[in-house]
Amino acid sequence: MPELRKERLDRGVKVRSDSIYALSSMKEILYLLGPGLVLILLLLVLPLVVSPYWQRVMAITGVYALLSISFGFLANYVGLVSLGGAFYVGVGGYLSGLLNAAGVPLILSIPIATLLGAVICTLLLLPCLPLRGVYFAIISFIYPLFAGRLIAATGYFGGTDGIPGLDRFPSIWVALYMAIFILLIVLYGLSRMVNYEDVGLVFRGVKDNELAIKASALNLTWYKVQAVFISSAMGTFAGAYLAHLYGWVGMSLFAIDFSILPVAATVVGGSGTLYGPLLGALILVPASESMRAFGTLRIVFYAVLLVFFVVFWTEGILDFLKRKYEQFEHWVRI
């Protein structure tokens, strides 16, 4: 029996569209733009075709997707593994909720909470910025736990009851398309920034070689602050958005699910880009939701699925799809 092995080759269209010749024909341009267009179209059209309940699921998915992108951006491009997603959500949610309860309409309270919340989160994380790797991860993981317990212990901001009866979005369409547009803007803005702007280059330097940044007379902490601000603004927006989706804020905005799911989404979707975490969130949240009929057993299936992805499909979905898109495989005789 002859021995075979699989050989991968780039598709012709991929090779052609790698360079300036991409502009030479519609086909190549489409090949390059295709995945992005499909994503945008899918996000815009999907709300129109799914049932009202799945529209709600999509809105929640949007919250987790934003958190996942925020995690992915900080981890992949700046080298800070932040498990503080729940902290951002909590700060953003509570700020917007408190403002709204004081009479500020949600059209103002959400942006104020997003920016002010991001400033607060960044300031609070400032002392930990010199830390790296697992140390930063653990300390950012502890922040939301701390905040939640503090609210329970002091009874401020409604204590364990939370604050109900806040303004809600006028309709699910507003809520849904708001999430989708913010998501698209964030994706476009971030990928431009990290791929084409100077600051993206510096961020990568922060991740890969801090000494090089220092040697270039750039202020390391200042760049980390910028990155944390951007990432936490996404989280605080997600929190404010969630608060007004259901018209409530409460301690559970600091729930560790908000910190853990983005990590899981990144592992499932594939790390290294902004799209991997997004894809992961788009798969995990609906998957968990559709297994609800199993009652408490659902979490077991979910966990098993997660382990399965992590252990046996390490490359992540995005890389898998990318490989299929760009290359073809065939068997060759050794």
Partner 1 sequence: MDLIIYGIVNSITLILMSIGFALAYGVSRVPNFAHGALFILAGYLTWVFRYRVDLPYWLSIILALIIVGLVGIALYQFILIRVRGMPISEIIASFGVGLAILEFLRWSGLRGTAHMLPPFISGTVRIFDVPLDYQRIIVIFGGIGILLFLWAFTTFTKTGLSLKAIAQNERAGLVLGIDADRAATVAVSLGAVFAGVAAVILLPLGNIVVEMGYEVLVFAIAVSVCGGLGSWKGAVLASFLIGFAQTITVSFVAPHYHFVMALFIIIIVLIFKPSGLFGRQKELEERV
Partner 2 sequence: MGISILLLLPLIFMWGCGGQETVGGPDGEPIIIGVPVPEAFSYGWVGERGIRLAAEEINAAGGVNVDGVMRPLKLEVIDTRDLEAGVPVSEALLAVERLILEAGADFIVGGPARTEALLPTLDLVNEHELIHISSTGSFSPRSNQMVEEDYEKYKFHFKTTCWTFTMLGDFYGVIDFLNEEHGFDKISIMVQDVAHARQAGEIVAGRMAEAGWDVMDPIVYPTGTLDYSDGLLRARRFGAQVLFVWMDMPESVIMMRQYRDMEIPAVPIGFINAAEHPDFWEATEGKGEYTLNHLVNAGNAPVEVTPLTMPFVEAYKERFGVEVEGYGASSSYQAIYTLVDAIERAGTIETYAVLEALRATDMEGVYGRVRFDPDTHLVIHDLDPAQGAVPQIIQWLDGKRETVFPPSIATAELQLPPWME
Q: Of the listed pieces 142-150, 193-201, 244-252, 285-293, which binds partner 1 according to CB under 8 A?
A: 142-150
Dist CA 271 CA 251 (whole Å): 31
Dist CA 194 CA 79 (whole Å): 13
Does the footprint of partner 1 cover residue 220 (CB under 8 A)? yes
Q: Which does 139 bind (CB under 5 to 8 A by kind): partner 2, partner 1, none?
A: partner 1
Q: Which does 134 bind (CB under 5 to 8 A by kind): partner 2, partner 1, none?
A: partner 1
Contacts with partner 2, 245-284, as mask; x by CB under 8 A: xxxx-xxxx-xxxx-x----------------------x-
In terms of CB distance, is 48 or 211 closer to partner 2?
48
- Report CA-CA distances (Å) from 231 to 139, 142, 208, 274: 16, 18, 19, 12
Please name the residues in contact with 14: beta carbons below 8 A apart, sequence gap of 6 or more.
31, 325, 326, 327
Minimum distance, C-beta of residue 122 to partner 1, in the bound complex (Å): 15
Does the footprint of partner 2 cover residue 52 (CB under 8 A)? yes
In terms of CB distance, is 19 or 216 closer to partner 1?
216
Does the footprint of partner 1 cover residue 263 (CB under 8 A)? yes
Of 48, 153, 332, 334, the residue at the interface with partner 1 (CB under 8 A) is: 153
In terms of CB distance, is 229 or 246 closer to partner 2?
246
Residue 155 gets the label, from left (phi > 0), alpha (psi -120 to 50) or beta, of left
In terms of CB distance, is 301 or 328 closer to partner 2?
301
Minimum distance, C-beta of residue 103 to partner 1, in the bound complex (Å): 31
Long-range CB pairs of 129-135 (<8 Å, 24+ gap) are: 129/80, 129/221, 129/224, 129/225, 129/228, 130/221, 132/79, 132/80, 133/81, 134/81
Does the footprint of partner 2 cover residue 56 (CB under 8 A)? yes
Does the footprint of partner 2 cover residue 159 (CB under 8 A)? yes
In terms of CB distance, is 112 or 256 closer to partner 2?
256
Minimum distance, C-beta of residue 242 to partner 2, in the bound complex (Å): 6
Does the footprint of partner 2 cover residue 71 (CB under 8 A)? no
Six-digit token pair at 324? 């299929």
Does the footprint of partner 1 cover residue 314 (CB under 8 A)? yes
Contacts with partner 1, 73-92, as mask; x by CB under 8 A: --x-----x-----------
Q: Which residues bind partner 1 (CB under 8 A)?
A: 75, 81, 127-128, 130-135, 138-139, 142-143, 145-146, 149-150, 152-153, 210-211, 214, 220, 260, 263-264, 266-267, 271, 295-297, 299-300, 302-304, 306-307, 310-312, 314
Q: Which residues bind partner 2 (CB under 8 A)?
A: 51-53, 56-57, 60, 63, 149, 152-153, 155, 159-162, 164-165, 168, 242, 245-248, 250-253, 255-258, 260, 283, 287, 289-296, 298, 301, 305, 308-309, 312-313, 320
